[in-house]
Amino acid sequence: MSYFIIILLAICSHISGAQESKQICPLKGSQFPAPSGLGSENLFRNATGKIEQSIRASLTAAPYNETTFSIGMFSTMDDELLYEFHHTDPTVATSEIGTNEVDADSIYRIASITKILTVYQWLIADGDRKFNSPISDFIPQLLQYENGQDDYPAPRWDEITVNDLAMFLAGIDGLNDVAIPGYVTSSLPAMAAAVLPNNPANGINVPESDDPVCGYFTPNVTYVPCSREAYIEKIANLASSFEPSYTPSYSNANFAILGLALENILGAPIQDIFNKTVAKPLGLRSTTIGNPLQITNDSVIPGGGMTASGWDNALGPLNSAAGAFSTTNDLAAIGRSILNSTLMTQAITRRWFSTTTFVDTIDQAVGRGWEIFRVRINGHSIDIFTKSGNWGVYNSVLFLIPAYNFGFSILSASSAAGGALVNDLPNTIVNTLLPSLETITKQQANANFAGRYTSDTTNSSITVTTDGSIGLRVTEYVASGVDLLGSVFALFGADVEFRLMPNQLYSGGTRVGFSAVYQPPTTIPPEDEFYWPCESWLDVDDFTYASVPLGLMAFDVNADGNATSVRLVALRETLLRK
C-alpha cells in the first residue's frame, strides 16, 4: 500500500497509534489472523461496557431519548450475538400496533441496506462473471425506447455494465428515480401539493407523454410505486448525470435495475430469489425484500402510523434498492455468512470486499454496494465495509470489518430525531472497539504463533515474535546453518525487518499461511513528498528457491489454534515449535 495514502490519512481524525520517526510500510490486508472467542476477552467486554455507559449517559437527551434502536455485534466465530443493546422510545412503547419493547427479533425497515442484499443474492445465484457485461444484455427493453432526446443526454445502456450499476458508477442518479410530482423534488412531499401547470407560460413545456405517472410521493407521503413495465420505460430515458465509470454517484435506480436484471436471468421474482439463496440457507426468520405480509408483535411502528412512518410504502421495482425489512439477529446471520463465505466462494467474497473507486477524500471509498471507510491503527489501515439506509422514520447501518471477522448493526426508528443517532453512534462504537480488537488480535497471534521452531535433524530454525509494529516478526531465520536474514534478506539493508502477514492460502482450519514483507524501517516523509516513499508491495517474493518464495510459511495448528510446527515451504522442511 502506498505511503501516499498513509501520509494523507495521518492528518485525518481517525484512530491511530503513536507515530514513530520510522516504521514498516505494510501491505494492504490483515496483519494478523482474525481473533476468536471475542465474547470471553476482557478487553472486548471492557470496550462494550464503555460503549454502553456512553449510550446510557446519552439517553436523557436527544436524539437518544426520542429514538427506538437496536445494536447487535457479531463475529464469524460465534453463533450468538457478542453484544446487544436495545432502547424503546415512547412512540413505540405506546404504539397500538406492533411491538412495545424492542429486542434482537424486532423488525425494522432497513431501507438501503437492501442494496447489499441485492448484490449478495446475485453473487450467490450467478457469481460475478456477468459483471462486466452491459446491463442491456439482461434488460433488452432498455434499448427499445427512444434514447437521447435533443434537450438532455440519456444513458447509453449498451455501455453501462452490471459492475457500473453495483459500484454507483453508472452515471444515473435521481433518488426520485422516475418522476417528480408537481415538478418539485419528491423528498419534499409538503411541496408536492403546489402543482405547477405544464405550460410554456410557467417555463414548463414537458410533453404529456413524459408526465410523471409513478415513482413519487403524494402530499400525504404515500409512495406511488411503478409497475415493472412502466419503470423500465421511464428509467430508460432518465437523464444521465455523468458518463459511466467516471465518478461515483448514489442511486436507487442502479439497484432497482440490478434487481430487474436478476429476475430476468433467473426467471423468478426477487423475493423468491432471496428466499432461495439467502433466507432459507441461513434460517432467517423475519427478513423480506418488500413489505412483510402482516404486522406482528415484532414490528416496529412508531406511533402506530404505518403510512406516516413509511412502514407500509410499497416500492415496486425499488424493492431491490430500499425495500427490505429485517432484524438484529437476521442481519448478524447475514453478516457472518458474508464474512465466512458461507454461501459463495472465498474468491468471490474477496472480490466483493474490494474498493472500486474513491470519493474525493482518500479515506472514503465505494464498492459494489458498499460505503467504505478506512481508519488508521498501529501503523496500518483497516477497511470498514458499511451500508446505511433510511426511509421514512427508519435509519439503519450495517458494518463489516473483515480484518477481525467482526461486524455490527444499528437499526433505528424515530419520528422526531430522524437519523441523528445512526449518524452519531458508529463513531463511538468504532473509536472504542477498534483499539481493543487490534490488541486482542495481536495478543492471540503472539500466543498462537510466537516462539522458536527448530529441526531435530538439520541446523534450521526460526524465531517468531510480535512487537509494536505490524505482523509477526521473524528475528531468526536459519536454513541448514545459513543465516538468511543476515545474508539474502540483508541485501535490502543491514537493518532489514522480516515480517509475516496472513495470506489466506490455506483453508480447513489446520494450517495457517503467511507471506513475508521484508524491508528496513523507513522515515515518514514530509507531507509534500508523496511519490514512492513506500515500496513494500513492489518487493513481495523477490527471493525464491525452487519456484517458491523464501517468505512463504505455513503453520500447523491444533484445535485451539495454537501452532505446533511451521512448514518452510520453499525449503520443503518442517520445524517443530519448542
pLDDT at residue 204, rounded to an integer: 56
pLDDT band of 522, cuts 50, 70, 90: confident
Q: Out of 93-107, 425-439, 492-506, which region has the weakest mean confidence (pLDDT)?
A: 492-506
How far apart CA 263 and CA 269 sit, in angstroms, is 6
CA distance 413 to 494: 59
- 519 in the same domain as 433: no
- 438 touches 446 (CB < 8 A): no
**CA 430/CA 54 separation, integer angstroms:** 13
**Count of domains forming the chain:** 3
Beta bridge partner(s), residue 453: 462, 577
pLDDT computed for residue 470 by the predictor: 92
Q: Answer yes or no: is 397 within a domain.
A: yes
For residues 437 and 455, membership in a common domain is answered with: no
Give DSSP secondary structure letters for 279-324: IHHHT-SS-EES--SS--TTB--GGG-HHHHTTT---GGGHHHH-E
Q: What pLDDT digit, counting tens, does each position of 146-201 carry? A: 555 567 888 999 999 999 999 999 999 764 545 444 443 444 444 444 555 555 44
> Based on the domain organization, do 438 and 466 belong to the same domain?
no
CA distance linking residue 215 with residue 391, whole number of Å: 14
Measured on CA atoms in the order 471, 473, 478, 482, is the torsion positive or negative? Answer: positive
pTM higher than the cut 0.85: yes
User: In this structure, are 471 and 438 located in the same domain?
Assistant: no
Domain boundary among 443, 459, 483: 443
Cβ atoms 201, 287 nearer than 8 A: no
What count of Cα atoms within 13 Å lies in the side-chain half-sphere of residue 512?
Answer: 20
Are residue 522 and residue 461 in the same domain, yes or no? yes
Annotate 122-177 with three-state secondary structure: HHHHHCCCCCCCEHHHCCHHHHCCCCCCCCCCCCCCCCCEHHHHHCCCCCCCCCCC
The answer to whether residue 319 sits within a structural domain is yes
Single-letter code of the amino acid located at 15: I
Bridge partners for 513 per DSSP: 554
Mean pLDDT of the chain: 89
The verdict on 420 and 458 lying in the same domain is no
C-alpha cell at 356: 472500486
pLDDT band of 362, cuts 50, 70, 90? confident
At which of 411, 443, 475 does a domain end? 443
Count how many Cα atoms sit within 13 Å of the Cα of residue 417 in the half-sphere of its side chain: 23
Helix, strand, coil % over all residues of the chain, rounded to 5: 30, 20, 45
Residues 313 and 431 occupy one common structural domain: yes
Residues 71 and 184 in one domain: no
Domain assignment of residue 343, yes or no: yes
pLDDT in tens, 292-338: 999 999 999 999 999 999 999 999 999 999 999 999 999 999 999 99
Range of the domain at 535: 450-577
The three cell numbers of residue 283 are 434460517
CA distance 377 to 470: 10
Do 225 and 329 have their domain in common? Answer: no
Q: Is 425 left (phi over 0), alpha (psi -120 to 50) or beta?
A: alpha
Reported residue count of the chain is 578
The strand pairing partners of 411, in sequence order, are 70, 396
> Does residue 8 belong to any structural domain of this protein?
no
Specify if 345 maps to a domain.
yes
103 and 44: one domain? yes
**Residue ending a domain, choose from 443, 458, 481:** 443
Do 180 and 105 belong together in one domain? no
Q: For residue 308, give the CATH number of its domain.
A: 3.40.710.10
Q: 394-406, pLDDT tens digit by residue?
A: 999 999 999 999 9
**What are the φ/ψ torsions at residue 466 (nearest 5 degrees)?**
-125, 155
Closest Cα to residue 474, out of 538, 552, 403? 552
How far from the centroid of its chain's Cα atoms is residue 553's Cα?
Answer: 30
The sign of the torsion formed by the CA atoms of 167, 173, 177, 178 equals negative
Instruction: Answer whether residue 358 is part of any domain.
Output: yes
Q: How far is CA 394 from CA 112, 292, 390, in A?
A: 10, 15, 5
Torsional class of 4: left (φ above 0), alpha (ψ -120 to 50), beta (otherwise):
alpha
Give the pLDDT score at 180: 45
239 with 309, same domain: the answer is no
Residue 548: per-residue pLDDT: 97
Residue 48 inside a domain? The answer is yes
Note whether residue 3 is domain-resident: no
Mean pLDDT of 444-464: 97
What is the share, in percent, of the chain residues with pLDDT greater than 90?
77
